[in-house]
Amino acid sequence: MDLYLDTADRAELEPLLATGLFRGVTTNPLILARSGVRLDEVPDLVAWLFVHGAGEVFVQTTTESADAIEAEGHRLRGLDPRVVVKVPATREGLTAVRRLSDAGVPTLVTAVHNPRQAILAASAGASWIAPYLGRVSEAGRDGLQAVAQMVRVLAGTSTRTLVASVRSAEDTVRLATDGAEAATLSGAVARELFVEPLTDAAVAQFSECLPSLGARVGG
């Protein structure tokens, strides 16, 4: 499973990107607002993310009509060839995604809550969909089952599933088991993936016996 970080907080991103385990970063207006990043600061943020190890950055459009989203998508893509354009799964958004796909711009259809939207995104030629797992579950539906259905819907298409709104490390494991190709994680969930007390206990044991083993391997 490919892992992405779902935050625009530089202090949170820097140590996680430094691990080399996260392929890139996803943003949206809510994430920018939470991190105090204004829209006119997005180009600087994108440049900073690539310098600090992101291989791809997903930037979301903020306009509503298909014409405006299409134009904005081209502007965002113009920031860097590694930018993927995120577009909400509205009728206007999907119309713009079809046009951007035809122009060779990679896109992610976001705020996906229903498998029917996965069908539409694939028809629009989207590179990715982003199902909102946590929000689907919190709305009283079976979020994991909905995502698994989307993965099946997209099998054999060129549209992949990058799950967002992920609430726990355990959900990440379930998603990988169910065939989701990628997930984007908050800093908290990303850090939770590294937590395993039994590994810590084993490493402590390794350290305890080192003094009895003499010099290091290789001197």
Would you name the residues annotated as active-site residues?
Answer: 86
Query: What residues numbered 182-201 form the site for ligand E4P, per CB under 6 A?
Result: 184
Q: Is 28 in the site for ligand E4P (CB under 6 A)?
A: yes
Are the beta carbons of 31 and 59 closer than 8 angstroms? no
The dihedral over CA atoms of 172, 176, 177, 181, expressed in degrees to the nearest 10, equals 150
CB of 33 to ligand E4P, least distance (A): 10
Q: Is 134 in the site for ligand E4P (CB under 6 A)?
A: yes
Find where tokens 């354009």 sit.
85
Stretch that binds ligand E4P, among 28-36, 65-73, 98-106, 201-209 (CB under 6 A): 28-36
Q: Is 103 in the site for ligand E4P (CB under 6 A)?
A: no
State how far the alpha carbon of 5 is from the alpha carbons of 31, 68, 154, in Å: 11, 27, 23
Among 150, 164, 183, 190, indicate the residue that binds ligand E4P (CB under 6 A): 164
Q: Which residue lies nearest ligand E4P, judged by its C-beta?
A: 164
Q: Which lies closer to ligand E4P via its Cβ, residue 39 or residue 103?
A: 39
- Geometric angle at alpha carbon 118, from 116 and 123, rounded to 5°: 100
Q: Is 130 in the site for ligand E4P (CB under 6 A)?
A: yes
Helices (H), 19-65: 29-34, 42-51
Q: Is 171 in the site for ligand E4P (CB under 6 A)?
A: no
Strands (E), the chain: 2-5, 24-26, 56-60, 83-88, 107-112, 128-131, 160-163, 182-185
Q: Which lies closer to ligand E4P via its Cβ, residue 106 or residue 134?
A: 134
76's CB contacts (< 8 A; 6+ apart) are 59, 61, 83, 85
Stretch that binds ligand E4P, among 23-31, 62-70, 98-106, 194-202 (CB under 6 A): 23-31
Q: Is 165 in the site for ligand E4P (CB under 6 A)?
A: yes
Residue ranges in contact with ligand E4P by CB under 6 A = 6, 26, 28, 30-31, 130, 132, 134-135, 164-165, 184
